[in-house]
Amino acid sequence: MIPITSAIFPKSIVPWTDRIDNQDVVFANDPNSLAAEVIAIENTLGAMPHQEKAPFTGNAVTYNSVDARISDAVAGNLNPYCSITVSSFFVFNQQQFGTRFGQYNTYSKVYDPYGYYNGSDITIQASGLYLITGSQSWEWHDSGYLWHSMYIDDDWQCGHRWDWDFAPYGPAFFEADRDASTAFTWMGAIPAGKRVRVVSENGTSRNPFQATNSWLRLYCLRKLPASALG
């Protein structure tokens, strides 16, 4: 009995010379070596290699080919991305809505294929490393401050404060058509189930104060194990 041939793949590529009918003798080792290489390729690729079995969220994704799966992954299409916006809203200076220091922004969905939008802002669906950015504009004023902050649940993470108290011949001297712009960028680990919220604070004498063109965007850079989430 001829022993099972050992494959040389994936450490090397098997050499092969075509056999010619009525000229070459085909020995049992010939099909055995081919079978061994086929099995080695299958073991390397694994079962269902055209299927993404553990995407960031949801069920397994089955592609038409391994090439399609790799191309989708390289394009970043499996990484969750959420974009939400609100065109205009008013922020009160008495902090009677939302939080002690301001009020929560309420957004509408722009793009959210992975179900992060919760009807107002964002709820994390997959534990991972996230990049989050936000921006909004405010009408012109001449005194006081405005604050635009990001929270995870009830914990403040980052923000941008805009002060209107300029010198007499500084920006406050300009025509009242120079809107203020506040923005933030944050990166860090967030567990699934956490809520990402934005708070707007009006520290001026104008009540209410109008904010416009506000958006919040979130992108998951990679999954993270529980030990990396703090």
What digits encode the pLDDT tens for the residues 154-168? 999 999 999 877 665
pLDDT tens, 19-76?
Answer: 999 898 888 888 899 899 999 999 999 999 999 998 888 899 999 999 999 999 999 8
CATH number of the CATH domain containing 99: 2.60.120.40
Does 90 fall in a domain?
yes
* Predicted pLDDT at 5: 78
Q: Is the dihedral of CA 220, 223, 226, 229 positive or negative?
A: negative
pTM: 0.84
Does 174 fall in a domain?
yes
Does 9 fall in a domain?
no
Does 12 fall in a domain?
no
* Predicted pLDDT at 174: 56
Q: Which residues are CB-contacts of 82 (< 8 A; sequence separation ≥ 6)?
A: 111, 112, 114, 116, 117, 122, 217, 218
C-alpha distances (whole Å) from 109 to each of 70, 200, 217 are 29, 19, 10
Cβ 193 vs Cβ 123: under 8 Å: yes
* Predicted pLDDT at 230: 64
Q: Please state, in angstroms and rounded to a whole number, the distance separating the CA atoms of residues 222 and 31.
A: 43
Q: Please state, in angstroms and rounded to a whole number, the distance separating the CA atoms of residues 141 and 112.
A: 35
pLDDT band of residue 140 (cuts 50, 70, 90) is: confident
Does 40 fall in a domain?
no
Does 128 fall in a domain?
yes
- Please give the mean pLDDT across all residues of the chain: 88
Residue 79 has pLDDT above 60, yes or no: yes
Residue range(s) defining the domain that contains residue 189: 81-228
Q: Is the dihedral of CA 188, 190, 196, 202 positive or negative?
A: negative
Does 37 fall in a domain?
no
- Report for 70-74, 119-123, 145-149, 164-168: range of highest mean pLDDT: 119-123
Side-chain-side CA neighbours of residue 114 (13 Å): 22
The number of distinct structural domains making up the chain is 1
Does 30 fall in a domain?
no
Residue 31: cis peptide before it, omega within 30 degrees of 0: no
172 phi and psi angles, rounded to 5 deg: -65, -15
Strand segments (E) across 25-154: 51-52, 61-62, 81-91, 103-104, 108-111, 122-123, 128-138, 145-152
Cβ 91 vs Cβ 104: under 8 Å: no
Percent of the chain past pLDDT 70, that is, above it, reads 89
* Predicted pLDDT at 101: 74
